[in-house]
Amino acid sequence: MTLEGLKKNIAKLISLYEGERQRADGLAERLAQSQEAVEACKTQIADLNRQIDTQKLKGAFMAEGGNAEARDRLNKLIREIDRCIALLEH
Q: What are the pLDDT tens digits along the chain (90 aa)?
A: 798 999 999 999 999 999 999 999 999 999 999 999 999 999 999 999 999 888 877 776 665 556 777 778 788 889 999 998 888 887
Domain spans of the chain, in order of start: 3-63
Using alpha carbons only, give the angle 83, 63, 66 rounded to the nearest 5 degrees. Answer: 95
Q: What is the pTM of this model?
A: 0.54
User: What span, in angstroms and rounded, lies between the C-alpha atoms of 70 and 60?
Assistant: 9
Residue 62 φ/ψ, nearest 5 degrees? -85, 135
User: What span, in angstroms and rounded, lies between the C-alpha atoms of 90 and 88?
Assistant: 5
Identify the CA nearest to 71 among candidates 84, 57, 82: 57
